[in-house]
Structure 1
Amino acid sequence: MMKILDIQALASVQDLGRSGWRELGIGQAGAMDPLALKAGNLLVRNEENAAAVEVILGGMTVQFDYDTPFCITGAFYEAYLDGEPIYSYWRYTAKAGQILTLVRAKIGMYGYLCICGGFQVPHELGSASTDNRTGLGGIEGRYLRQGDAVPTLTRHNTLSTIGVAPIAWRNTIYAVPSSEYDAFTAESQRLWWQRTWILQGSSDRMGYRFKGESLQLKAPLEMLSHAIQFGTVQVPPNGQPIILMADAQTTGGYPKIATVVSADLGRLAQVRFGGEIKFYLADMQTVEKLHKENDIYLNHIRRIAYEAD
């Protein structure tokens, strides 16, 4: 078990999410930064989809009841193991009774605490991911609380201490035009690709709200609700784009100007409130290149994680 001694952040158990249930109105949930989750799991020799604890910005203090290798990926956290500083993207082994303290995210938004063997919460509809709206997954389908004991599985009592290169940060995110792209004025299309957009503090796991120059349609457009997904860029009547994130609903009725390339969803998720982003138009060659770069990065971690011992 891993006991939550103190928590001042929204934290939940997440894997890569549940798929195949959207027709019933059940969303994906899952990690906001899938690449960081995969990287952490590989570093502690788990399957890429193993359940981890996702922590948003703030602090959390936990205690391990047995020796276990662990790492933190995603956001760069100020963190300590029994008072000694530790670093993101490094693998450590905590001894039974040791206390891990995550103080705050210094860079990025979403941190992932991965342990060797993963967190052993029930799988519901094929996933351990917490969906706070439906009450599925994780610990009773909710965010973690002080006093929670999160079940874990022992696989290796100790692994060597190693570090890997973190995921590269950038403030440019690649996207492709979506189904209503041509319904927007030429000026709005230009603004979408050429202007800087600022992430608003009202953003959350459901959607990232951006502020910038208003995007306008050529003519009023009435639409029935239609399927949407993680990465869809909707434009409501105020002209300020909303990018749907991991906890997004399954349908929506606003016109869609673009969709973020899936290989860049994690980088988008790590943008801090008030952060500035530019969106670049991606062709098929660019999309393939981004996915290949992510695969090369994960394969590098996989090799290092097993060669170290």
Structure 2
Amino acid sequence: MSKAIITIKKPGLATSIQDGGRYGYQRFGVVSSGAMDRYALNWANALVGNPLNAACLEICLVGPSLVFHEDVSFSICGANLSPHLNGQLLQGWRTYKAKAGEQLSFGRQVDGNYAYLAVKGGLESEVVMGSQSTYTKAELGTAITEGLTIWGNPQTLPRNRGLITEEIPKYEDHVHVHYIPGPHQSYIKEDSIQHFEEQSFLLQQGDRMGFRLKGTKPIETKNYENLSSNPIPLGGIQLPPDGNPIILLADRQTTGGYPRIGTVISTDLSKIVQLSMGKGTIGFTAIAIEEAQLLFKQKHLKMKLYTHI
């Protein structure tokens, strides 16, 4: 039976409800949205025994404050935004049990950008085209506002548990990620492809739509004026005229006309979205699609084991 689980007292900077994304509608111009850090979302759900892509609260930089109305187990994974339960500092990547009436709040940003709050039994919100993910520009999904009460099926775990240290990511100032080359290598000058992998790029600015990078050597394109607009995948690396790459993320546009040098593999995107703006740097190495698929399977196998409680 559905019950009121939490009420939002303060919404925070950019708190939203996100799940695995809204897929199957990009051909109609509908943005897929979904969690910025799928790795953290999946683990937050796995730890409490939810389906891996169940809806969570995505918390960006400045977190919300909320009150629990029922006893419920929850987990927080991703960025360390100093979560406190009734004033007690919590650790990330593990579960806790909240009692009815207790308050959860967030403090200073220690590392990372995005954290995910999952409650056992899941969160109920508006479902649009098969997804609970919020896309604020099109007013899709339930907006997180002061006084909003979120319902669900609150459950508790028999005991708390956490993720082993080896699986917890360390958010550093420099990350090296893998990308699958293509599909527009013929529109990129040959020496620029080499320059792309030889240098590190500064994360200049970004949002849920994409991250803009700045390199020491621009990646030069050629003869792409006749390139038709084409679908943009999650992690697609576009090359605008200035030669500074843009990595397209959760709220990316559905199509684009700039050449793409490749696509960041899904298992490495979480490294990028947790980088500090104006400080973090990124290096790239090409990888075969078969290797990328193997890395994906290895990571998700571990998560699925946690969901069977």
TM-score by length of 2: 0.91
CA RMSD of aligned residues (A): 1.7
Secondary structure at the aligned position of 1:297 is classed as helix
CA contact (8 A) 2:62 2:81 kept: no
- Residue equivalent to 2:268: 264
- Residue equivalent to 1:71: 75
CA contact (8 A) 2:94 2:162 kept: yes
Secondary structure at the aligned position of 2:244 is classed as coil
Partner Cα separation in structure 1 for residue 290 and residue 131 of structure 2: 32
Query: Which runs of structure 2 are paired with 1:1-309 in the superposition (5 Å)?
Result: 1=4, 2-137=6-141, 139=142, 142=143, 144-154=144-154, 156-165=155-164, 166-169=167-170, 171-201=175-205, 203-212=206-215, 213-219=217-223, 221-273=225-277, 274-302=279-307, 306=309
CA contact (8 A) 1:214 1:238 kept: yes
Percent identity (aligned): 33
Partner Cα separation in structure 1 for residue 81 and residue 239 of structure 2: 33
Gaps of 5+ in 2: none
CA contact (8 A) 2:15 2:60 kept: yes
Question: CA offset at residue 286 of structure 1?
Answer: 2.7
Partner Cα separation in structure 1 for residue 223 and residue 289 of structure 2: 30
CA contact (8 A) 1:175 1:281 kept: yes
TM-score by length of 1: 0.91
Partner Cα separation in structure 1 for residue 209 and residue 268 of structure 2: 17
Question: CA offset at residue 220 of structure 1?
Answer: 5.3
| Matched pairs, number | 298
CA contact (8 A) 2:77 2:93 kept: yes
Mean alpha-carbon deviation: is it higher for 173-182 or for 285-294?
285-294
- Paired letter, 1:294: K
Secondary structure at the aligned position of 2:77 is classed as strand
Question: CA offset at residue 161 of structure 1?
Answer: 1.7
Gaps of 5+ in 1: none
Residues 17 and 4 (structure 1), Cα distance of their counterparts in 2 relative to 1, 3 Å cut: same
Question: CA offset at residue 9 of structure 1?
Answer: 1.5
Question: CA offset at residue 289 of structure 1?
Answer: 3.4
CA contact (8 A) 1:45 1:116 kept: yes
CA contact (8 A) 1:32 1:245 kept: yes
Partner Cα separation in structure 1 for residue 294 and residue 211 of structure 2: 25
Partner Cα separation in structure 2 for residue 159 and residue 110 of structure 1: 28
Cα deviation 1:219-251 (Å, max 9, x = unaligned): 453322211121111011111111110001101
4+ runs deviating over 3 angstroms: 218-222, 299-303
Mean alpha-carbon deviation: is it higher for 49-58 or for 168-177?
168-177
Residues 181 and 167 (structure 1), Cα distance of their counterparts in 2 relative to 1, 3 Å cut: farther
- Paired letter, 2:194: R
